[in-house]
Structure 1
């Protein structure tokens, strides 16, 4: 018997005796075509029609040049996908065979051997179809015919008696950002965007295992394991949790069981900065006559999360209590990492979340205009101690509430709650992004000339979906009754005073309101869940915008096309004039735009953290990009850290010493976000000239301890600090130390804006320590050291004090590292 025959024999034998197994149909040979045409082309599953068209050289890469406009026709066409696969008689002998589509984008009809099995209308749902009776031994043909989501959406919109904003995207349960955003292209996709498989099962199948954490002490954690089991016949079975068996009796059909389980001497899952995110693996299996017929694995963490809202004289608190302790939330907002979601790899998810951990974050908000991210995203958050604020996928528009829409949304919530609720990183479900805000504050009713009845209907629709359908579905399908639901983010729009005294806030007075960065010091909310400012991507990512040799010029049409905000360049320039010299050289402009973005966010974050515990969270907009673009991101499309991400890492340190200037007086705040408390701290301040002379030195010992996470230290008048010295030639170096003189935190404070600083030309030396480590040194102050090279630097865009050096690690060896500083932009 040759090897191939032996393998086939063993494969058939395994199928014969297996009680449950999956067969991946994504790996079959798939084809696609425009429904108007006859010619079939090669396709990939998971995939999208745009990627398939690119691979077949029908359309250019829309991420390059100005190609986005050239591919808009794709969204108006219908597309057909098909594959053929063989079924053996042994496979067909299984009692049950389910065809499972984990994601279809969006309106489709599924045919098996010419018979229509299912119509779909939601990108975010899982579709499971029993198909044993439709399969045959030998070759089977599976077809999925997609309708244009744009055209279907337009037809749905016609049924509503008034014009809705962002039509037709509001009517289709599909990733909203695909219709274009002020940071993303319009690429309305279609296709089989997640895996498709055949599930074979016999006697019973195990579904929807939900882990309920009842109570825990240091000695034990009490859990309930809930499972949904479909049994072919009534009978006795065994249910095993990590090999601990319990006998159960199942009826024919659907069964819901609950089994208690204990973990001895449990270790808590802690958010990043508080300890280890301890995880436990639970292997759950179902047996019949001592044979395993179904099994699942769940990885859990033991923790409690509460959203605390308590009225006080200043309004109402808004903060997360984790494992019984108030947690200051430090983090960001996530958008999809690609306009073509099948290209978001497990490695990309892991890197993004590790970059969050490295930047001292403990929370990430999944924004409501994108997708419910892959399980790999949540696994990465679990492993790195990052809590997830999870929006449902509704953003910045009005949504209908007809019966079909309600049912569709309920099933979407069911699928996502059942998939995600066991992840310990999941902290909160939020109904939507800025839908309440859009209805109340954006003036659409006036723009579209709504009648009073129209306006009333819009609000009724809103209340129905976000205050009834979604929260009721969570209660219905979530086992854990401690699931937190928040109807809309923000809860109150940024033009209203209440947005600063309760709930969560999206403060856009900076950028949209074009107010100066310093307004952040005044507009401090309870919980800042969105705020931001744009900066250019790195040079490497900027060059990737071009299909050929890059023309790095601000006048270049390609670079202009990769700024999706209609006034983006103008707003960046206006802010840059306030704080920096505007360079004429492109590379220097790119650099300063990143510094500008980082400076704005530093001012915001420091204002938020100084206000602790009034403010208990700061999530900046945004972490990442879906294509090469000028945007609010701190990490660009290719995964490179912009200046902002390096600054975020510094600003989010667990211990920081912060300065606030008010009426000629400097106030100092020692902030501690760890559970560990510090006492008997003291502050050392040094006034240093840019050339390195220490002009004044003061040690301040406060009468207090950092017990509640923040301590205001003794203020100092600026005049007493610098006297007759030129404030444009000196800076304040701050060192916070504990009782043993150990440094807890350091910071620098400049008395003037960057454009006014009288910097001295530095002599920057770069010494090679090893192939992946360098040492940077200087004679005088270097403001905003910018290391340039095709590698990731462990630190960048940092200040280097006179006569000091700093060691930097490189992710990849470089022959040469170029360097730039703020001095180069002032004296170009």
Structure 2
């Protein structure tokens, strides 16, 4: 059966069973062309013009070699898309037929059978057009003509009497990262990036379903369901909520029906690590004359969430209280996981969010320079207990505030709130990323020679969009239990002392400020929503930057082209010199750069967690990549865990031991994020030589470890334990056990920087246990054991103690596992 006949058959089957049905026009045969040309070429929808050009080998893959430079012409052209589809007489008999585009990128004109239906100007909006009067029985031609977003943006910028930074991107409501970032290429796309469909309906249809949680107790959950119904025929209808019937009178046009619904003895939705992610299906059906004409199912979770900001002696708190409990937020920042958005599969979303769960995270911040992610992203967060800090899509620039822009933004907010707000994972709406800071701290006004009036206008425009238009729209369209709005992240720039005493903080003294990692111990904010350090991607991903078999070294221009920070290599090298011996071999350099990144983030996270409850959240920058690149990510573009992600998993354990050495004084803290008390826990310390000899061991006095708390032990003078000249020859092993002898946490502490350690060559043995499990052992300390192979290891980049074998599973069988340790980089 050919594609057209198959979908016609499926459509008819759907139509027989309901008076509302859809036809996915993305599945029709599409074609595209440069608007200057006549020849049409086959296209894929959803898609982007770059992907279509690549498929026809008109442009090379911009992810390979230095090809990004060769494709920049694409952004300056206009592109046309079209499809020809057949419509049956039976389909035309429906009372209403709507043409729906879930996403158009970005400036387009939509034509149906030669008739201009709509002009679009926002990648983040849904476009719904009644088209019954324009359709014909038989052949219909649908065309979407895209204007260059760069050229339109430039035209809009010229209407402003002063120069806007990052122009023209801030005038264009599309994914800002496409214009290039310090981790991503410049690939300004256009195209039909989400599905397009025809909706056929009769009598009435659901426009939107909002579910508000009015009250939540152990006995019941009181819900208010808002069913927004568009009625073509007025009269009596039945609305059923999980088969509970309500009779309503609908007027012709838009109706909002309020439906109370109760769930008895509700099971709560809990963040990862704090309980189960219980979900409920709420099915709302619409009937007319005993026939079902529309139906929607929403999957919800029952939970309460508050953002608590209370003044104290040090400033003002900033933390999330979930289901009545103060939650320490452990998580990460998210960017789009591809430069070409239609390539992001459901499987990729699911894997990356499972990787967050496996690394003990409970929150993810969607950064404001990307997109409102696909439905599968939020579904995965719901299922895995990952709360979502949702930025609106504005980042690092100044934005206009003329009436057209205001209206466009409000409708964008409406569409996204309607789509996302029923998800239990959604925790907070944030106005933007770093725009308040850009206005105050980045010196654009001086750079572009603003007059006093220009500067006042920028401030006025900022307040209009982020303190009026967006929060008013959130209040208008979101239910009361989804009303947490935060205007800008960070609330105060990292150069100001208040950034550490209130609000959320982006601390970039490390990396941008080139401060040592140890500064993290001093610069501890109330909530760290962004900080980070770069590391290379895995070797597999590094090799994927090349189209052929080339000799790969650090001076290769291809590798340099895949580092988007202007001083990136220089900064990495400077930090590496501080802590490691810098290898010249690419493989070893790749390995050490990952260790360096991991070391920096470990120091930061432990400093944040030790400061609990002063600090109640740590979201590092960043989880993922949009292409193969040297970046701040912990998981590279191909989905491989870098050393950082393995360390994050350890650092985010519910119970951790966090020793801190400063000026010879060793302080040790135990952090418990569980809502569970442990009676009489025992912290044991062993001091070993690097070769495995036990020098000393002692136990701290047994103490109770309270729920959701930090237990600080009395600091020790290290010189009283080990002579200072021997610090580079020893390590400390800490073990925490409960009163039954069960190990709750374990960690190793070194007294010297990695480059100063007097390591011996380890004899690392790997024994096969099963096709997907190995045992790794060593005769002397093996620092930062790196298991190499085309598989995912359950643990990697770990310190292996002498005569203490470790079992590691891997995702698929391997003939051989190669291994490296830090010693190998110190003896090139």
Structure 1 and Structure 2 fold alike (TM over 0.5): yes
Q: How does 1:468-479 map to 2 (within 5 A)?
A: 468-479=468-479
Cα distance in 2 between the residues matched to 1:327 and 1:17: 47
Q: Is the 8 A contact 2:676 2:707 kept in 1?
A: no
Cα deviations across residues 519-568 of structure 1 (Å, max 9, x unaligned)?
A: 00000000000000000000000010011114220011111100000110
Number of the residue aligned with 1:560 = 560
Task: Give the Cα–Cα distance (whole angstroms) in 2 for the partners of residues 365 and 178 of structure 1.
Answer: 19
CA distance in 2, matches of 1:770, 1:382: 34
Q: Map of 1:612-761 to 2, 5 A cutoff?
A: 612-723=612-723, 726-761=726-761
Asked if 1:142 corresponds to 2:120, the answer is no
1:423 corresponds to:
423
How many Å separate the matches in 2 of 1:163 and 1:69? 26
Aligned-partner Cα distance in 1 for 2:553–2:627: 19
Secondary structure of 2:156 counterpart: helix
Match of 1:279? 279
Inter-partner Cα distance in structure 1 for 2:748 and 2:148: 55
Runs of 4+ residues deviating >2 angstroms: 4-18, 479-482, 702-708
Judge conservation of contact 2:678–2:704 (CA < 8 Å) in 1. no
Query: Take 2:552 and 2:753, find their aligned partners in 1: how far apart are those partners?
Result: 28
Q: Which secondary structure state, in structure 2, belongs to the residue aligned with residue 714 of structure 1? A: coil
Give 1:691 shift. Answer: 1.1
- Give, in whole Å, the separation in 2 of the partners of 1:287 and 1:211: 20
- Say if 1:210 and 1:226, in contact at 8 Å, map to a contact too: yes
Q: For 2:588 and 2:749, how far apart are their aligned partners in 1?
A: 24
- Alpha-carbon shift at residue 704 of structure 1 (Å): 4.8
Aligned to 1:158: 158
Partner Cα distance (2:8, 2:260) in 1: 43
Aligned to 1:502: 502
SS of the residue corresponding to residue 470 of structure 1 reads helix
In structure 2, what is the equivalent of residue 63 of structure 1? 63
- Structure 2: which 5+ residue stretches go unaligned? none
**1:449 match:** 449
Pairs within 5 Å for 1:576-615: 576-615=576-615
CA contact (8 A) 2:283 2:296 kept: yes
Any residues of structure 2 matched to 1:239-278 within 5 Å, and which? 239-278=239-278
Distance 1:737 1:29, change over 3 A: same
CA shift, 1:720, in A, is 2.0
Residue 776 (structure 1) shift = 0.5
Distance 2:401 2:481 in 1: 26
Q: 1:657 to 1:12 in 2, by over 3 A?
A: closer
For these two proteins, the number of residue pairs brought into alignment is 825
Q: 1:211–1:480: 8 Å Cα contact kept in structure 2?
A: no
- Counterpart position of 1:184: 184
Distance across 2 between alignment mates of 1:576 and 1:588: 12
Alignment partner of 1:681: what SS? strand
| Structure 2 partner of 1:381 | 381
Please list, as runs of the form range in 1=range in 2, the aligned pairs for 1:435-584 lying within 5 A after superposition.
435-584=435-584
Correspondence for 1:395 = 395
Question: Offset at 1:126?
Answer: 0.1
| 2:370 corresponds to | 370
**C-alpha spacing 1:168/1:796, structure 2 compared with 1 (3 Å):** same
2:221 is matched with which residue? 221
- Please give the alpha-carbon distance, in whole angstroms, between the structure 2 residues aligned to 1:327 and 1:312: 18
Aligned counterpart, 1:124? 124
Q: Sort the Cα spacing of 1:52 and 1:478 in 2 relative to 1 into closer, same or farther, 3 A.
A: same
Counterpart CA distance in 2 for 1:54 and 1:361 is 37
User: Where in structure 2 are the equivalents of 1:104-119 lying within 5 Å?
Assistant: 104-119=104-119
CA deviation map 1:603-651 (0-9, x unaligned): 0000000000000000000000000000000000000000000000000
TM-score (norm 1): 0.98
Q: Distance in 1 between matches of 2:503 and 2:467?
A: 16
Alpha carbons 2:674, 2:707 under 8 Å: kept: no
Q: 1:718–1:350: structure 2 CA closer, same or farther, 3 Å change rule? A: same
Deviations 1:715-743 (A, max 9, x none): 22102221477111100000111122221
Query: Which piece of structure 1 moves more, 199-208 or 720-729?
Result: 720-729
3-state secondary structure, aligned to 1:466: helix
SS at match of 2:680: coil
The answer as to whether partners of 2:759 and 2:823 remain within 8 angstroms in 1 is: yes
Residue 353 of structure 1 deviates from its aligned partner by 0.1
Counterpart in the other structure of 1:295: 295
Deviates more, 1:657-666 or 1:19-28: 657-666
Distance 1:11 1:360, change over 3 A: closer
Deviation at 1:662, TM superposition (A): 2.7
Quick check: 111-120 or 479-488, which moved more? 479-488
Offset from partner CA, 1:292-320 (integer Å, 9 cap, x none): 10000100000011000000000000000
Report Cα offsets for 1:321-367 as digits up to 9, x if no partner: 00000000000000000000000000000000000000000000000
Stretch moving more, 624-633 or 704-713: 704-713
Q: Equivalents in 2 of 1:134, 1:87: separation in Å? A: 12
> Kindly tell me: are residues 787 and 703 of structure 1, through their superposed partners in 2, closer, same or farther at Cα, counting changes over 3 Å?
closer
Distance 1:666 1:5, change over 3 A: closer
Change (3 A) 1:708 1:45: closer
Two-structure CA RMSD over aligned residues (Å): 1.3
The structural deviation recorded for 1:407 is 0.2
1:349-360 aligned at under 5 Å gives the runs 349-360=349-360
The secondary structure found in structure 2 opposite 1:105 is: coil
Q: Is the 8 A contact 1:16 1:90 kept in 2?
A: no
**Distance in 2 separating the partners of 1:625 and 1:363:** 18
Report deviation, 1:714: 2.3
Structure-1 residue corresponding to 2:813: 813
Decide whether aligned partners of structure 1 residues 81 and 741 sit closer, same or farther in structure 2, where only a CA change above 3 A counts.
same
Q: Which stretch of the first structure deviates more once superposed, 526-535 or 234-243? A: 234-243
Q: Partner residue of 2:770?
A: 770
| 1:543–1:550 contact (8 Å) kept in structure 2 | no
Distance 2:292 2:815 in 1: 58
Question: 1-side partners of 2:22 and 2:77: how far apart?
Answer: 33
C-alpha distance in 1, partners of 2:7/2:505?
Answer: 60
Distance in 2, Cα, partners of 1:597 & 1:685: 27
- Equivalent pair of 2:170/2:397 in contact (CA under 8 Å): yes
How far residue 770 of structure 1 moved from its aligned partner, in angstroms, is 0.9
Q: Is the 8 A contact 1:368 1:394 kept in 2?
A: yes
In the TM superposition, residue 663 of structure 1 has moved relative to its aligned partner by: 3.3
Distance of 1:60 and 1:144 partners within structure 2 = 25
Structure 1 segments unaligned to the other structure (5+ residues)? none
- Give the equivalent residue in structure 1 for 2:27: 27
Asked if structure 1 preserves the Cα contact closer than 8 Å seen for 2:366 and 2:388, the reply is: yes
| Distance (whole Å) between structure 2 residues aligned to residue 758 and residue 196 of structure 1 | 63
State the SS of the aligned residue for 2:240. Answer: strand
Separation in 2, partners of 1:166, 1:692: 56
Contact 2:681 2:703 in 1 (8 A): no
User: Offset of 1:249 from its aligned partner?
Assistant: 1.1
SS of corresponding position for 1:584: coil
Measured against aligned partners, the alpha-carbon deviations of 1:563-608 in whole angstroms (never above 9, x if no partner) come to 0001100100000000000001110000000000000000000000
Q: Are residues 661 and 99 of structure 1, via their aligned partners in 2, closer, same or farther at CA, if it must alter by over 3 Å? A: same
